[in-house]
Amino acid sequence: MTKDLIEAIEQRRSVREFKTDEVPDATISRIIGCALMAPTAGNVQPWRFWVVKRPEVKAALARAAYGQGFVEDAPVVVVVAAEPKRSAAQYGKRGSELYCIQDTAAAIENMLLTVVAYGLGACWVGAFDEDAARRALDVPEGLRPVAMIPIGHPKRDPATRRPRPQRPWDEVVVVVG
């Protein structure tokens, strides 16, 4: 573990206000590349990523996200979809109902930390109508949109915001041994 990684984890915040500056394609490619390095059950890699820049599609995604306007305002939105059947082929019901979601969540966290490393901001959006998001992107059957990640240059430095309170250690950690 490096100090840089720990700092990225400590500095990560949900960013919902973005500047209009574009995010370079090479940066987005690196962010997605880091997502692809996430661990997956059996190395199945049950995911797909849509990189959305087109204003009308971002507007449709914002509507699917129950009017969360910052989804539309971000220069780029990455939509992550799980492929349950891919996981089920190796792990059955547990693969389709759990592992593919865990695997996409690991990829999303890699993306969020890479965003911080680039000095950008992002927000993990899980509150949205899956069918509306599916229609906005023409997602094929068998894939399940699980997250929208708006990415851009934050209007304010997220590191200046205090982190949200955490539950007490003794309430969430059980030491066995």
Tell me the angle at which helices 84-94 and 100-117 cross, rounded to the nearest 10 degrees: 130
Name beta bridge partners: 79.
50, 148
Give the per-residue pLDDT at 1.
Answer: 39
Give the model confidence (pLDDT) of 13-33 as tens digits. Answer: 999 999 999 999 999 999 999
Give the per-residue pLDDT at 157.
Answer: 86
Residue 2 has pLDDT above 80, yes or no: no
Give the per-residue pLDDT at 3.
Answer: 58
Average pLDDT over residues 154-174: 89
> Domains in the chain, ordered, with CATH?
15-157 (3.40.109.10)
Per 3-state DSSP, what percentage of the chain is helix, strand, and coil (rounded to 5)? 50, 15, 35
| Ramachandran sector of residue 110 (left: φ over 0; alpha: ψ -120 to 50; beta: rest) | alpha
Give the per-residue pLDDT at 101.
Answer: 98
- Please, are residues 30 and 131 in contact by the beta-carbon 8 Å criterion? no
* Residues with Cβ within 8 Å of residue 102, at least 6 apart in sequence: 41
pLDDT grade, residue 162 (50/70/90)?
confident
Give the model confidence (pLDDT) of 83-132 as tens digits. Answer: 999 999 999 999 999 999 999 999 999 999 999 999 999 999 999 999 99
**Amino acid, res. 136:** A
Average pLDDT over the chain reads 95
Q: What angle do CA 55, 161, 10 make, to 5 degrees?
A: 95
Which residue has tokens 């906005």? 136
> What is the C-alpha separation between 139 and 130, in angstroms, rounded?
10
> What is the C-alpha separation between 44 and 138, in angstroms, rounded?
23
